Amino acid sequence: MDATPVWFMRQAGRFLPEYRQLRERYAMLELVQTPELAAEVTLLPMRLGVDAAILFADILLPLQAMGMDLAFVSGQGPVLGHPVQDAEDVARLRPVDVETELGYVLETVHTARQMLAGTAPLIGFAGAPFTLASYAIEGGGSRHYLRTKQLMHGRPEIWQALLDRLTDVTLAYLRAQVQAGAQAVQLFDSWAGTLSPADYRQFALPYSRRVLSGLSDLGVPRIHFATGTAGMLPLLREAGGDVISVDWRVDLRRAWDQIGHDVAIQGNLDPALLFVPQNALAQGVRHVLAQADGRPGHIFNLGHGILPETPVGNVQFVVDLVHRESAKAKGEQL
């Protein structure tokens, strides 16, 4: 189909009633660690007509494999026990044999590929070293990332040791996902935007670059995602990726000018627009499409994950509208 492809970050999650039903019977980690169930969840959003499936897993699973206690606490989000504070904590993190310790994810990839049977590509993913480090240090989500920044600036040798380990695991994990059948990969650096451009360049970029360049021989598209990055888009590009994800805080056209037109762009509807009346929602969608102006490298997406209470009907509305309007515009250009 000659239309702009569309899919949504966090599309396999709680906004879907089928997912919520499964969650009544299974805990989050149980779902993720049972490949048949995880593959089933991966495919749930396909009924909306999205153009890619995203693996059902979580960016924090490698931290668990490294020996950290991980729990998803309802109403609170992820919690990691005994956060990393000093050199001993880093030394305690185990090297990970991906095939065994994260083998359940690879099995999910394999099963999901079989179930998709070529109808849509499967995207694998992992957290970027900086974002993973922030969870390992803060013990969960954070508002100001104080501990993370204290360690980064105050104990740079510990920071480097931690980030080196996270980089090695992340690269091995993504390579294994591709070998298991993932047809594209996304690196989630969700909280990179909390850093100044100078700090991003020094403390985060080198590690993300090592992950992204370490995948180049595999020949799969690499999507590089972060939010709050309007002030450092060229740096994201420098870190790497065939597709750069941008959020709604920057106009898509400006973002593209800064990143360079030889790179594809994913984005950038504000996830909150899925809660507003459909005429206003349609306006938001058309604005994104107009900014992308039919360029071949545009993937329509949100600027960040889909929110849990999002009305399913509005998601369907956006998928259909993006396909219809972009196909029409492309037809007119011929």
**Rounded least distance, CB 140 to ligand CP3, Å:** 8
Q: Judged by CB under 6 A, how many residues of this single chain contact ligand CP3?
A: 23
Residues in 263-282 at the binding interface with ligand CP3, rule: CB under 6 A: none
The window from 52-60, 87-95, 168-176, 238-246 that contacts ligand CP3 (CB under 6 A) reads 52-60
Query: Which neighbouring-strand residues pair with 225?
Result: 188, 245
Dist CA 296 CA 265 (whole Å): 10
Dist CA 225 CA 58 (whole Å): 15
**Rounded least distance, CB 88 to ligand CP3, Å:** 26
Select from 16, 37, 46, 59 the one that contacts ligand CP3 (CB under 6 A).
Answer: 59
Dist CA 19 CA 221 (whole Å): 28
Residues in 151-190 at the binding interface with ligand CP3, rule: CB under 6 A: 188, 190
Q: Which is nearer to ligand CP3, 40 or 325 (CB)?
A: 40
**Rounded least distance, CB 277 to ligand CP3, Å:** 25
| Residues identified as active-site | 10, 14, 23, 58, 135
Alpha-carbon 307 to chain mean position: 14
**Rounded least distance, CB 123 to ligand CP3, Å:** 9
**Rounded least distance, CB 209 to ligand CP3, Å:** 19
Q: Is 56 in the site for ligand CP3 (CB under 6 A)?
A: yes
Record the tokens describing residue 35, joined without a space: 């490949």
Cα 217–Cα 226–Cα 330 angle in degrees, nearest 5: 75
Q: How would you classify residue 175: left for phi > 0, otherwise alpha for psi between -120 and 50, otherwise beta?
A: alpha
Q: Which is nearer to ligand CP3, 23 or 209 (CB)?
A: 23
Helix (H) or strand (E) holding 118: none
Q: Is 10 in the site for ligand CP3 (CB under 6 A)?
A: yes
**Rounded least distance, CB 76 to ligand CP3, Å:** 8
Q: Which is nearer to ligand CP3, 190 or 310 (CB)?
A: 190
**Interface mask (CB under 6 A) for ligand CP3, residues 11-40, using x and -?**
xxxx--------x----x------------
- What are the CA-CA distances from residue 119 to residues 45, 50, 114, 297, 300 (Å)? 13, 11, 10, 21, 19
Q: DSSP letters of 179-209?
A: HHT-SEEEEEETTGGGS-HHHHHHHTHHHHH
Q: Which is nearer to ligand CP3, 83 or 141 (CB)?
A: 141
Select from 39, 48, 60, 246 the one that contacts ligand CP3 (CB under 6 A).
Answer: 60
Q: Count of CB atoms within 10 A of residue 286's CB?
A: 13
Residues 63-74 as b/e (b if ≥16 CB within 10 A, e otherwise) read: bbbbebebbeee
Among the listed residues 215, 225, 224, the one whose alpha carbon sits nearest the alpha carbon of residue 182:
215
Among the listed residues 109, 71, 52, 107, the one whose alpha carbon sits nearest the alpha carbon of residue 223:
52
Select from 49, 83, 141, 193 the one that contacts ligand CP3 (CB under 6 A).
Answer: 141
Q: Is 241 in the site for ligand CP3 (CB under 6 A)?
A: no
Q: Is 130 in the site for ligand CP3 (CB under 6 A)?
A: no
Residue 16 phi, psi dihedral angles, 5° rounding: -90, 125
In the three-class reduction of DSSP (H, G, I as helix; E, B as strand; rest coil), residue 276 is classed as: coil
Q: Which is nearer to ligand CP3, 32 or 163 (CB)?
A: 32
Q: Is 72 in the site for ligand CP3 (CB under 6 A)?
A: yes
Q: Which is nearer to ligand CP3, 9 or 325 (CB)?
A: 9
**Rounded least distance, CB 135 to ligand CP3, Å:** 7
Residues that bind ligand CP3 (CB under 6 A): 9-14, 23, 28, 54, 56-60, 72, 77-78, 125, 141, 188, 190, 304-305
